[in-house]
């Protein structure tokens, strides 16, 4: 018997939150999903609040992963220590609140989820995610291992996928908000996609009002990001995994409108 893991792309602003809350549980029932990981990095457009994290859990997420905006909302810091089901990148300094890896008990066995962040163009003071990932793979005993790699460069994400091929059950990229067309099972049995996409307004620039994004590139003074309006979608990927071996049997990118 295989299990179905749903990974959901970055939830963007209130439009993305509302769409997720309305549609995720129904989609879970329809597709018989066993476990859900949602990237909540942009639930507050930039960052996420404890209230929004609670709402994502109520919507059906089993685990929330984060990224480069983890520290934007200071009120999230104690929440990261209190809740085991929300992860920040494991390659942040060890003195930072929260955790980047955890094991979760399920009816089909233990599931290990690892959250990492890339370094290419993100200008963050983090440890090398490749060294961290490789080290963790030596220690993890669970069969099902899921990795959210929050990174900018497609080459960095692809390299991580091949590094972990045959070690992790599934590796997916987040952060760039545009779903890629390379969902596949890598040669040694790891499910992979370079970027899940996002959950938020379709007619937007990464969830943001297009006019504001155009203005930024035209040289307008900086201002707080504003979510776009209109129709939304939820993008992500379903990984079918053999719980006995941890190998991925199939991968399907999804876009729910």
The token pair at 205 is 């620039």
Rounded Cα distance, 253 and 177, in Å: 14
Q: Which residues contact 14 (CB under 8 A, 6 or more apart)?
A: 227
The token pair at 26 is 């129904």
Q: For residue 90, give Cα distances in angstroms to 71, 130, 212.
A: 14, 11, 33
Q: Is the Cα dihedral 32, 188, 67, 45 positive or negative?
A: negative
- Catalytic (active site) residue 175: no
The token pair at 34 is 């066993």
Residue among 69, 150, 175, 177 flagged as catalytic: 69
Task: Write down how long the chain is.
Answer: 257
Rounded Cα distance, 130 and 158, in Å: 12
The token pair at 125 is 């003071």
Identify whether the C-beta of residue 205 lies closer than 8 Å to the C-beta of residue 178. Answer: no
Q: For residue 161, give Cα distances in angstroms to 20, 143, 169.
A: 27, 17, 10
Q: Which residues contact 26 (CB under 8 A, 6 or more apart)?
A: none
**What is the secondary structure of 123-145 as a DSSP string?**
------HHHHHHHHHHH---SEE
Catalytic residues: 69
């Amino acid at each position: 018997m295989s299990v179905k893991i749903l990974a959901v792309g970055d939830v963007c602003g209130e439009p993305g939150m509302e769409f997720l809350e309305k549609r995720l549980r129904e989609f879970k029932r329809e597709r018989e999903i066993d476990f859900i990981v949602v990237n909540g990095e942009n639930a507050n457009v930039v960052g996420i609040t404890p209230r929004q994290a609670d709402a994502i859990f109520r919507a059906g997420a089993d685990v929330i992963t984060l990224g480069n905006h983890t520290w934007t909302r200071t009120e999230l810091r104690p929440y990261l220590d209190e809740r085991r089901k929300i992860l920040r990148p494991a390659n942040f300094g060890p003195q930072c609140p929260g955790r980047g890896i955890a094991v979760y008990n399920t009816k089909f066995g233990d599931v290990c989820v690892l959250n990492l962040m890339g370094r290419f163009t993100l200008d963050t003071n983090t440890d090398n995610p490749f060294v961290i990932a490789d080290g963790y793979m030596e220690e993890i005993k669970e069969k099902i291992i899921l990795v959210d790699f929050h990174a900018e460069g497609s080459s960095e994400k692809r390299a991580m996928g091949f590094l972990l091929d045959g070690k992790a059950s599934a590796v997916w990229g987040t952060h760039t908000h545009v779903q890629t067309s390379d969902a596949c099972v890598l040669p040694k049995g790891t499910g992979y996609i370079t970027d899940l996409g996002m959950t938020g307004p379709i007619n937007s620039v990464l969830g943001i009002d297009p006019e504001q994004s155009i203005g930024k590139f035209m040289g307008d003074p900086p201002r707080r990001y504003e979510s776009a309006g209109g129709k939304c979608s939820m993008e992500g990927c379903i990984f079918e995994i053999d719980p006995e071996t941890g190998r991925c049997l199939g991968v399907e990118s999804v876009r729910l409108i």
